[in-house]
Amino acid sequence: MAATKKVLGIVLAGGEGKRLMPLTLDRAKPAVPFGGHYRLIDFALSNLMNSGLRQVVVLTQYKSHSLDRHISTLWRMSGMFNSYVTSVPAQQRLGKRWYLGSADAILQSLNLVYDERPDYIVVVGADHVYRMDFEQMIDAHIASGAEATVAAIRQPISLADQFGVIDVDPDRPAEIREFLEKPADPRGLPDSPGEVLASMGNYVFTADALVEAVRADGERADSNHDMGGDIVPYFVERGTAGVYDMKHNEVPGSTARDRYYWRDVGTIESYFDAHQDLISVLPIFNLYNDAWPIFSRQDNLPPAKFTRDARGTLSTVIDSIVSLGSVISGAHIERSVLGARTVVESGAMLSDSIVFDHTRIAAGATVRRAIVDKSVTVETGATIGIDAALDRSRGFTVTDTGITVVGKGVTVTRD
């Protein structure tokens, strides 16, 4: 990336995340814990930092207190050289209204663009799990001469109805011919008929062109004011929209297994599956890549501890992640991810589950195929994920695939 080019990063973090309820009942979607001690937003911000971007604003709105606190305490940067990561709550600069969509969020925050006066703007979502070098995408955008470039990742054509799909001209494969929202019968790629290009929700814009686009969008009564649904088609119609195929992105330290990993964790099922990807013997997404680290808050906690119980029963932990400050005493844990300060007592059985921090699973309790939010107490002999009808009667969410979700601060009793 040319040193003379000034780039501003904008992270869209105002989403409500209804499909992740009850995990988003008391927090914004980007603030949802992930992988033990991370938050979802840490992946977007780590990618931007590792890519050399040093001026980043995070646009927040919905129940943003814990998200704003996380950004202010973890992502503080030296003010030297104009380096910063800062959260910007909705300011109602254009009237007494909240953001109407992602494009409207940028429209209402154009003062940030005017203050920084960048040449290019990188816009990313805050709730995807992936690694990406944005410097390479910015260079490709500049070289192409496009006004807008959309990052895309190859997906099987059978999954096209789950994504925004980018249709390209076979004669000009770097140009977007049409942007299709969850198409039922899309064309395959010219070089791979069994695949489509799915939008990753990441964009590079020439700054003046983006300002003009969101202003024009703000005047349209028929717009949903959405980056993917309205702004990208605006540039497609002008013939100035390009696509950046993720296959060209080389992330240091990546492996053949996780090089093109990208997951939208917008549903309970996809959130659960993404955690399973972490704990594979050869991880599908590797948290241990020191060449491209994922940064997060590291509390001053002791290491995790695994002990026998009073009767001498050993703890067994298989294919799992256990965070700092946790104590496992004579329990069995398998294919699970545990947050900080988790306590699992004698004879407890925990499998295929995600447990947030400050949770206690008492002696003889069983937790199976569940997501347990923070500060939950599972009392002696209690069960989660064994009887779906019982779990529903307690007010827990049970998905169609049998994942039980227990909200924050609940005490689960033995029935």
The annotated binding site for alpha-D-glucose 1-phosphate is made up of 99, 164, 181-182, 199
Q: In 32-189, which residue ranges form alpha helices assigned H by DSSP?
A: 41-50, 65-74, 102-107, 110-116, 134-144
Structure tokens of 29?
A: 């979607």
Beta strands in 209-273 (DSSP E): 241-245, 262-264
CA distance 61 to 89: 6
CA distance 110 to 105: 9
CA distance 275 to 352: 9
Whether the CB-CB separation of 290 and 306 falls below 8 Å is answered with no
Q: What phi, psi does 250 have (nearest 5°)?
A: -105, 105
| Lookup result for tokens 């925004």 | 164
Whether the CB-CB separation of 118 and 207 falls below 8 Å is answered with yes
Structure tokens of 266?
A: 């917008």
**Residue 48, helix vs strand vs coil:** helix
Of 93, 71, 65, nearest to 84 by C-alpha is 71
Q: Which residues contact 342 (CB under 8 A, 6 or more apart)?
A: 322, 323, 325, 326, 327, 355, 357, 358, 359, 360, 361
Name the binding residues: 99, 164, 181-182, 199
How far lies 391's CA from each of 69, 273, 383, 388, in Å? 33, 21, 9, 5
The whole-angstrom distance between residue 84's C-alpha and the CA centroid of its chain comes to 21
Kindly tell me the sign of the dihedral angle through the C-alpha atoms of 336, 339, 345, 346. positive
Of 297, 281, 379, 307, nearest to 340 by C-alpha is 297
